[in-house]
Chain A
Amino acid sequence: MEPFTKIRSIATPLDKVNVDTDQIIPKQFLKLIQKTGFGQYLFFDWRFQSDGTPRKEFVLNHPKYQGSKILLARNNFGCGSSREHAAWALLDFGFRVIISTSFADIFYNNCFKNGILPIRVGEQVLQKLFETDGEVEVDLQNQAIRGDGIDVRFEIEPHWKKILLEGLDDIAATLLHQDEISRYESSHRDMNPKSS
């Protein structure tokens, strides 16, 4: 995965609470078996009318937010189905950061697994971000969000910070060392037969 350091971009304000994963990527696209190319279906029913033409009023279609890498959303983002396609679609569309007051648990974990940084902030900070017009900078190393009149810290578990900063695929990393881990475990068992 691409290492994550600083992201600077205009932030797309998605002013909705309880955005569930079926809004992020509707069920009809789950049947596809590849892991890439889901970006075109992101927020499909909100982005497009039934005849396929873009809905001009939807924030992602606004010219101002094209190329945005930061998504702002209201409380409980990513609730509902556990589909990892939601994280895949957001990433493929170009989002690397999602800022909200809270995330659903499975979605939150799925983000880190795919190189997206989900950030929990307080309600006042989120409101300020929604109101800001300029670019926003997310600095992972210093755990900071900066923008016009905004300079706040955010919390992240050290494990996830390391994974994102180094662009590690933690599962691949662990599995690549699986043989060594197994060898260690079995030699350990031989030495301590009762502990197995």
Chain B
Amino acid sequence: MLNITEKILARASGRDSVSPDDVVFANVDKVMVHDVSGPGVLAVFEKLRKNGVKIDRLHDPEKVWVAEDHFVPAADKISAQNVVLLTQFTKDYGIRRHFKYGMGQYGICHTLSHEEAMVLPGEVYVGGDSHTNTTGALGAFAAGLGHTDVAYVLLNGKIWFKVPETLYFKLNGRLPEYAMAKDFILKIIGDIGTDGAAYKTMQFGGTGISEMSVEERLTLTNMTTEAGAKSGIIEPDQKVRDYLAQRGATNYREVHGDPDAQYAKTYEYDASEIEPVVAKPFSPENVSVARELSSTPLDKAYIGSCTGAKLEDLRAAARILKGRTVKIRTEVLPAAISIFRKAMDEGLIKIFMDAGVMVGPPTCGACCGAHMGVLAKDEVCISTTNRNFPGRMGHVESKTYLASPLVAAASAVTGKITDPRDLK
């Protein structure tokens, strides 16, 4: 009667069974740090050293991987220095998997986690970033931690978890062609609120999820963070196996919930009723149907981030932008350079450029207000990203509407919030 999350945590802690609220000491299979959490972890290492802890090696450098994504390409001198620090860190501790900006494969950490099959079904994966939840779509237990906890895992290979309760979100039927996973997850957050899943797992299932591609599923788990969830997860199926096999990963031990798995609560949604929506400033829970806001003027459209710049997100945007031109400043930043290349090979980049769009390099960039197109005071942006808190994308008095790539692209064409069905 265990669900997938309970089974993964039981296996990782050497138990036959666990129940919600049990505290387990779980073995961690993968750990990720990036150019913000990496230096943060090093600061914790320094403090530990001052307390007499000898730190000369990590528990297992093979389980650790590193991404450069927030402030790259180096936004300023300090960011450049942090990348140098990160490089020294991987060298000092013998970490082989460091996705260096501008060398081979690179991009946003959560995108690399699936694009490079860094995390596999059944694993326990933690990262120094709140959107670590994303990779749960591959059937792993994936959760973000603070710097001190990440430091502990790096040194000890294990971490305490309180087994979370699971909320089960069942999608019945296939999403209509004008709606995307982003509309579904925003609808859910609008329903349960930004702390609706606080310290719980959000699991997604049902025929609508089986029909959904792996990349679309990743949008769902990615934004479980915005509902306060500890993790998000989807049971692995043939689509996940194929996705991973295309990336050379075939050797892993899948975990599935029991047929009579228990959930704290089940929510059911009819896929045919999911419509294009947006989350208004300044919270992902302020959800409205896009059509109700169709007179809202915009200054900018941003198609980027781990949430909204995967290959299928770019395909969706290109479907709208093909043969059209944008009326407002629009940026497309593919989430990894491998995705950029695929988009180029498929002709998507040409479509974007023909539409007058700025195509940029993979980076967290303006999603977290770091650089690469941040917003000025009073500017209004429609964005495929995950957060719209005050100042998230720039000035504290700028405004961000969160939307799917279809809605963002349609809005870029008209300069106002636009349902893709209403585009002439």
* Shortest Cβ distance from residue B150 to the other chain A in the assembled complex, whole angstroms: 9
**Given A34-B43, A81-B368, A176-B52: A109 and B228 interface contact (C-beta under 8 Å):** no
A171 cross-chain contacts in B, Cβ below 8 A: 44, 48, 148, 151-152
**Quick check: A79 and B43 within 8 Å, CB to CB?**
no
Q: Mark B137-162, 1 if CB is under 8 A from A, else 0.
A: 00000001111110110011000000
Q: For residue A83, which residues in chain B have a CB less than 8 angstroms away from its CB?
A: 36-37, 40, 146
Is B156 a contact of A113 with CB atoms below 8 Å?
no
- Interface residue? A186 (CB, 8 A): no
Report which of A20, A35, A85 forms a contact with B389, defined as CB distance below 8 A: A20
Chain B positions 199 through 227: 1 when the CB is less than 8 Å from some CB of chain A, otherwise 0 = 10000000000000000000000000000
Q: Give the Cβ gap from A186 to chain B, nearest Cβ, in Å.
A: 14
A105 adjacent to B48 (CB under 8 Å): no
B392 touches A76 (CB 8 A): no
Which residues 92-139 of A sit at the B interface, judged by CB distance below 8 A?
A: 102, 104-107, 109-110, 113-114
Q: How far is the CA of A7 from the CA of B70 in the complex (A)?
A: 38
Task: Flag whether B194 is at the interface (Cβ < 8 A).
Answer: yes
Size range of the chain B interface in the assembly: 35 or more
Query: How does the 8 Å CB contact mask read for A63-99 relative to B, with 1 for contact and 0 for none?
Result: 0000000000001100111111101000000000000
A120 to chain B, nearest CB (A): 11
Question: From B42, which residue of chain A is reached at the shortest CB distance?
Answer: A33
A18-B283, A31-B79, A175-B156 given; A23·B389 CB < 8 A: yes
Contacts of B390 in A (CB 8 A): 23, 45
Task: Please judge, given known A-B contacts A22-B391, A27-B368, A27-B370, whether A114 and B148 are in contact too, CB under 8 Å.
Answer: yes
Q: Are B194 and A18 in contact (CB under 8 A)?
A: yes
Q: Within the assembled complex, what's the spacing in Å between the Cα atoms of A10 and B145? A: 32
The distance in angstroms between the C-alpha atoms of A53 and B240, with both chains bound, is 54
Query: Is the CB of A141 closer than 8 A to any CB of chain B?
Result: no
**Which residue of B85, B144, B156, B389 has the most chain A CB atoms within 10 A of its CB atom?**
B389
Given contacts A27-B369, A104-B195, contact A174 B156 (CB under 8 A): yes
0/1 string, B328-346, CB within 8 A of A gives 1? 0000000000000000000
Residues of B within 8 A of A84 (CB): 40, 44, 146-148
Task: Tell me if B145 and A106 are in contact (CB < 8 A).
Answer: yes
Can you list, as one digit per residue, whether each of A172-186 has a CB less than 8 Å from chain B (1) or not (0)?
Answer: 101110100000000
Question: What is the bound-complex CA distance between A151 and B151, given in angstroms?
Answer: 38
Which residues from A are CB-within-8-Å of B81? 33
In the complex, A30 has a CB within 8 A of chain B: yes
Closest CB of chain B to A156's CB: distance in Å? 14
Bound-state Cα–Cα, A51 to B16, Å: 60
Interface assignment of B130: CB less than 8 Å from any CB of chain A = yes
Asked if residues B391 and A80 are in contact (CB atoms below 8 Å), the reply is: no
Contact between A109 and B42, CB atoms less than 8 A apart:
no
Task: Looking at the assembled complex, report how far the CB atom of B327 sits from the nearest CB atom of chain A, in whole angstroms.
Answer: 29
Q: Are A175 and B155 also in contact (CB < 8 A) when A31-B79, A79-B228 are?
A: yes
Known A22-B391, A175-B48; judge A105-B40 contact (CB<8 A): no
Interface centre among B81, B129, B144, B396 (most CB of A within 10 A): B396
B280 lies within 8 A of chain A by Cβ? no
Kindly identify which residue among A20, A109, A178 contacts B149, using a CB–CB cutoff of 8 Å: A109
Q: Are A172 and B130 in contact (CB under 8 A)?
A: no
| B362 located at the interface, meaning its Cβ lies under 8 Å from any Cβ of chain A in the complex | no
**In angstroms, how far is the closest chain B Cβ from the Cβ of A171?**
5
- Contact among B43, B195, B396 for A35, CB-based, below 8 A: B43
Closest to A46 in B: B396
Question: Cβ of A107: which chain B residues have Cβ within 8 Å of it?
Answer: 146
Residue from B40, B128, B144, B283 with most neighbouring chain A CB atoms (10 Å): B40
Answer yes or no: A54 CB below 8 A from chain B CBs: no
Judge whether A76 and B145 touch: CB under 8 Å.
no
Shortest Cβ distance from B377 into A: residue: A50
Q: Contacts A104-B228, A169-B51 known; A81 to B130 CB distance under 8 Å? A: yes
B175-214, CB under 8 A of A: which get 1 and which 0? Answer: 0000000000000000000110011000000000000000
Contact yes or no, A110 B146, CB < 8 A = yes
A32 at the binding interface (Cβ < 8 Å): yes
Asked if A30 contacts B36 (CB within 8 A), the reply is yes
Please state if A106 and B130 are interface contacts (CB–CB under 8 Å): yes
Q: Are B194 and A106 in contact (CB under 8 A)?
A: no
Closest 5 CB pairs of A and B: A110-B146, A35-B43, A82-B130, A84-B147, A113-B148
Interface residues of B (CB under 8 A from A): 36-37, 39-40, 42-44, 46-48, 51-53, 70-71, 76, 78-79, 81-82, 85, 128-130, 144-149, 151-152, 155-156, 194-195, 198-199, 228, 230, 283, 368-370, 387, 389-392, 396
The contact sample of 14 A-B pairs, CB cut-off 8 A, is A22-B368, A26-B391, A27-B369, A31-B78, A33-B85, A35-B43, A76-B194, A79-B228, A82-B37, A83-B37, A102-B195, A105-B199, A169-B51, A171-B44
